[in-house]
Structure 1
């Protein structure tokens, strides 16, 4: 099985960059990066020191329901290009020692028993285990310290 990592969609990023309301109805906050701990959810790269970025509330789900969590995300304030990520390769912006992984079904609802904190070095094995589990369609990767959404992992289409 091959794994694909999906960033924030471009339409959402452009909406936020143009001052559109976030998931809580607020305009994104504009800041300047100090060069540490600011992972852009759109390009899946770190925001560099001195670069402007936005903080916004985002709900990475297509519908609202009890499991559709909303939380803060960072993204470059200016247009950015997603990093080329090879299939099955963890995005380079995942730099913390561990993350929360949680499986979701086709209705984007949490599958109980799939969530847990996983060491960075063990993420790929856990993703493979989760994505081959019955009913799991996607896995969210979140900060283990702040629960912020980073990206989504799905089974990659094979040619």
Structure 2
């Protein structure tokens, strides 16, 4: 599997707009915020932005818009793109599978100890092109997973 944080172009645009309108909030700190730029939790004193984001997998009636956090300044990104981020393993997660055409193609809720196995099971279906990982409690998009092409 390959883990995808938010793309640089999305982050660059959001950072440029941080604090300029009601859709791009700048926060001097927000400890514990789930950061979509590096896939870890924000620490004390780290400035973050909260902005609206539409993941690319859902199209047409499946397109969704929701809030996401990221560092206010560029960071090094995720430590790895090959493993489920530890910062997001502490709770059950909604796994939503999408086809290459952007249509929902199954999904489920996985517990922390079954996350990787359940993602692998969704990818056993050749029609699944991407799996979105979301918060169960709020439905927020956390990150996307695709098959490892290596």
Given the two structures, how large is their TM-score scaled by the length of structure 1? Answer: 0.86
Q: Is 1:101 the counterpart of 2:95 in the alignment?
A: yes
Alpha-carbon separation, structure 1, partners of 2:144 and 2:123:
11
> For structure 2, which runs of at least 5 residues remain unmatched after alignment?
none
- Which residue of 50, 54, 71 maps to 1:55? 50
1:52 and 1:121 map into 2 onto residues whose CA distance is: 31
Task: Report the count of equivalent residues.
Answer: 149
1:17 pairs with 2:15: yes
Alpha-carbon distance change, 139 to 63 in structure 1, aligned in 2, over 3 angstroms: closer
Aligned-residue offset at 1:91:
1.1
Q: Is the 8 A contact 2:58 2:64 kept in 1?
A: no
Query: Which stretches in structure 1 are left out of the alignment for 5+ residues?
Result: none
Length-normalised TM-score, structure 2: 0.91
Moved segments of 4+, more than 4 Å = none
Alignment of 1:22-41 (within 5 A): 26-36=22-32, 38-41=33-36
> CA RMSD of the aligned region, Å?
2.0
Structure 1 or 2: larger helix share?
2
